[in-house]
Structure 1
Amino acid sequence: MKVEDCETDFPKLPALQKIETYPITGDKNIQMADNSFSDGVPPDSLEAAKNASNTEKLADQVMQNPQVLAALQERLDSVSHTPSSYIETLPKAVKRRINALKQLQVKCAHIEAKFYEEVHDLERKYAALYQPLFDKRREFITGDAEPTDAESEWHSENEEEDKLAGDIKNKAIIAEKEAAAAEEPNPKGIPEFWFTIFRNVDMLSELVQEYDEPILKHLQDIKVKFSDPGQPMSFVLEFHFESNDYFTNSVLTKTYKMKSEPDKADPFSFEGPEIVDCDGCTIDWKKGKNVTVKTIKKKQKHKGRGTVRTITKQVPNDSFFNFFSPLKASGDGESLDEDSEFTLASDFEIGHFFRERIVPRAVLYFTGEAIEDDDNFEEGEEGEEEELEGDEEGEDEDDAEINPKKEPSQPSECKQQ
């Protein structure tokens, strides 16, 4: 490979090839005096030889630079060791067989898509089994039902230590406990259950503004509804609110549409079902209570008379409740800008997190135990990376999370946008 074939940050040597055409062996070949030439050497040949000599010196200087040599070596290594360069060296008969393998891989991707469709059917089946437990969870949270002694019994990991400490203190404070029990407040249900989860989870707390908090304290339940059999894959998040001073809806919904099929243009990118779009709902805000907009005053000057007037204007405001007015994925072939793509991807991630983590394990996010588990898992990954230092970087992150079928009918309280 010639030097000029390698891409580096250093300028190419345009006359480097002339080193072979016009070799310089010493002062015997060239004699210069008063801008005239002797020994019958043509002026153009002598000039070319002079340029070649300068080029050779420049090449020597450049090639002695360790940065240039490192860049050249890196370029040579990348050219000679990339998988694509290796494939190009294979005989046509072998390439033909590789193409056949790719055809088989496309068929595998379509079978995998069917597999995930059946997984979604199983999700729907087991969601029906979970729901009675989630309904009872809501009753305990709202105070509509009180757990029995058997239902409220829980054995902690430190039960023996707690029991021993309790026995020691029991006799001394039994009378005090009885007196305190009569005065101890007994609020209904578990106050601010879901709002506490929002505060505990960083992904959610980043969305919540101070003026959102009083509204979220009225949140009583979050449900996941899967699409019906035979309908396009989707799932709906339902946020159930008690009566409040902010809006008249009792339920706010967010529908996430999914796809489980390989892309025709890039079938090998298929890694399972993915969220492709989402729809929110209309929030019926009470007068002056809409936290998703703010009113600003703006002065306007009349061009002719020069008088000034003040007008009021509503502009968008940061709020968790913008979650129900999502950005729409482009369906007309036009690509979104970078900021919009990031916003949409974040929305999909939050929707999946509600579905896969928050709703099924709500009490553990309320107590913080699930968050501690997540933190420990992340620390373990980091430790493993340190131990494997020197190896290639780890595998890509887990597949984009699975996402279900159809848009179920929306509750009457929340109109689909």
Structure 2
Amino acid sequence: MADHSFSDGVPSDSVEAAKNASNTEKLTDQVMQNPRVLAALQERLDNVPHTPSSYIETLPKAVKRRINALKQLQVRCAHIEAKFYEEVHDLERKYAALYQPLFDKRREFITGDVEPTDAESEWHSENEEEEKLAGDMKNKVVITEKEAATAEEPNPKGIPEFWFTIFRNVDMLSELVQEYDEPILKHLQDIKVKFSDPGQPMSFVLEFHFEPNDYFTNSVLTKTYKMKSEPDKADPFSFEGPEIVDCDGCTIDWKKGKNVTVKTIKKKQKHKGRGTVRTITKQVPNESFFNFFNPLKASGDGESLDEDSEFTLASDFEIGHFFRERIVPRAVLYFTGEAIEDDDNFEEGEEGEEEELEGDEEGEDEDDAEINPKKEPSQPAECKQQ
């Protein structure tokens, strides 16, 4: 028979457990009074992520029900926004027709088909007074030399290599151009944007007009970008306006031996049985700007593209949008480089503004203990609709 010891009617193992529990409680109290331990615990609590979704999960069912109602309203707002962008597209089409006569005249000046009048050629630059003064002084000193130089100065037709110069100036485009593309692009005379007709699915076409050349017989190469302006049924809250969803190129009718989008390579093959070796030639794809007209197709059968294909397609869409929104409307400024300088200054301004805001935040942290009631709240920075 087992021997159970008792102390005042209480089993000895129960007494031992009570002592251990008491000792643990005392140890816990001592640990919790340690400032370092408390600081470590507080740091861990501060680092626990408090996400909006975790907060929503804590709300009562009645509140969640009302939030769902708000989401229903948000979906309806997205559909109204889609209609807004459809009307914007109609306005773009309307004003494109108003721009076109000016763009047609631009082409005539570039190609040299029409010479601008003195009134059309007059332009006042920002440094006009300084330039005039310097010019007058130079004329007084070297008037004879200048007259001789003017007489000998060449007068080419139009503005040579206008569009090709734009390609070289814009990094996004120059990265696509290979050395063997350059002679072809020098024949580019105009780039036009045409919007889809009323009632047709939203799209736009880039037209690249070439003069007769030794490379292909096409006078116009086209690239069509198809757009969508409706919320995605699976993710309606991601809608931010029209997006390019696919694009189609065109067939380039290359003259014999002039196709720069392929290259011919020689490859040796060894016969497995006889061991003889023969040399064969085959054509393989070649890097070229003109691959722009043979684009990768967006997957329409539910299959996802690989990461490289997704990147290529996104880059293509970005280039098409850049032609439409920036290059074609402001071509002369990209030719002179002024638009590129404006773009660079805008980007630098954004970075500077961000650094300034960060400095303000640091200053506010230091002044928390001493708040100035007369200090006006900072005004929000102006935002622009992209």
Q: Please, what TM-score do these two structures have when normalized by structure 2?
A: 0.83
C-alpha contact (below 8 Å) 2:5/2:11 kept by paired residues = no
Query: What CA distance in whole angstroms lies between the structure 1 residues aligned with 2:197 and 2:376?
Result: 8
**C-alpha distance in 1 between matches for 2:284 and 2:344:** 38
Question: Which of 198, 208, 214 in structure 1 is aligned with 2:183?
Answer: 214
From 221, 228, 238, the equivalent of 1:259 is: 228
CA positional deviation for 1:56: 14
**C-alpha separation between the residues in 1 aligned to 2:380 and 2:275?**
53
- Map of 1:258-407 to 2, 5 A cutoff? 258-389=227-358
TM-fit CA distance, 1:298 = 0.5
Count how many residue pairs are aligned between Structure 1 and Structure 2.
Answer: 386
| 1:235-278 Cα distance to aligned partner (Å, 9 max, x none) | 00000001111111110000000000000000000000000000
Change (3 A) 1:72 1:390: farther
For the 8 Å contact 1:227–1:408, the answer to whether it is kept is no
1:226–1:234 Cα contact (<8 Å) kept = yes
Task: Work out the CA distance in 1 between the residues paired with 2:160 and 2:134.
Answer: 29
Shift in CA distance, 306/185, structure 1 to aligned 2, threshold 3 Å? same
Q: Is contact 2:269–2:278 with CA below 8 Å preserved after alignment?
A: yes
Three-state SS of the structure 1 residue aligned to 2:10 is: coil
Q: CA deviation at 1:103?
A: 0.4
Q: 1:207 to 1:43 in 2, by over 3 A?
A: farther
**Dislocated runs of 4+, deviation >4 Å:** 32-80, 390-417
The 8 Å contact of residues 209 and 320 in structure 1, kept in 2 or not, is answered as yes
Q: Is the 8 A contact 2:4 2:11 kept in 1?
A: no
**Distance in structure 1 (CA, Å) of the matches to 2:312 and 2:17:** 61
Task: Tell me how far 1:204 sits from its aligned partner.
Answer: 0.3
Q: 1:89 to 1:352 in 2, by over 3 A?
A: same
Secondary structure at the counterpart of residue 361 of structure 2:
coil
**Which secondary structure state, in structure 2, belongs to the residue aligned with residue 254 of structure 1?**
strand
Secondary structure in 1 aligned to 2:265? strand
Long gaps (5+) in structure 1: 1-31
Distance 1:340 1:318 in 2: 16
Q: Give the Å deviation of 1:85.
A: 1.3
| Partner Cα distance (2:379, 2:205) in 1 | 9
- 8 Å CA contact 1:330, 1:336 repeated in 2: yes
Partner Cα distance (1:406, 1:127) in 2: 49
Give the structure, 1 or 2, with the largest relative contact order (CA under 8 Å, sep 6 or more).
1
**After alignment, is 75-84 or 45-54 more displaced?**
45-54
Query: 2: CA distance between counterparts of 1:148 and 1:404?
Result: 63
Deviations 1:138-171 (A, max 9, x none): 0010010000000001001011111222222223
Paired with 1:308 and 1:412, the residues of 2 have a C-alpha distance of 72
The 1:295–1:108 alpha-carbon spacing in structure 2 relative to 1, beyond 3 Å, is: same
RMSD between aligned residues: 11.2
Q: Distance in 1 between matches of 2:327 and 2:178?
A: 20
Identify if the C-alpha distance between structure 1 residues 210 and 301 changes in structure 2 by more than 3 Å, giving closer, same or farther: same
Change in Cα spacing, 1:87 to 1:143, as seen in structure 2 (3 Å) is: same
Structure 1, 374-383 or 162-171: larger mean CA deviation: 162-171
Identity %: 95
Q: Which digits, 9 at most, give the CA deviation of each residue in 1:56-78, with x for residues without a partner?
A: 99999999999999998777446
Measured against aligned partners, the alpha-carbon deviations of 1:351-407 in whole angstroms (never above 9, x if no partner) come to 000000000000000000000000000001111111222799999999999999999
Which of 67, 72, 84 is the matching residue for 1:115? 84
User: In the TM superposition, what is the alpha-carbon distance from 1:36 to its structure 2 partner?
Assistant: 20
C-alpha change, 1:182 and 1:85, in structure 2 (3 Å) is: same
Q: Aligned with 1:229: secondary structure?
A: coil
Larger displacement relative to structure 2 (338-347 or 38-47): 38-47
In structure 2, the CA distance between the partners of 1:400 and 1:62, relative to structure 1 (3 Å rule), is closer
Classify 1:415/1:370 alpha carbon distance in 2 versus 1 (closer, same or farther; 3 Å).
closer
Q: Which has the higher mean CA deviation after the structures are superposed, 62-71 or 220-229?
A: 62-71
Does the Cα contact within 8 Å between 1:365 and 1:371 map onto a contact in 2? yes
- Matched with 2:4 is 35
Distance change >3 Å, CA 379–CA 369, structure 1 → 2: same
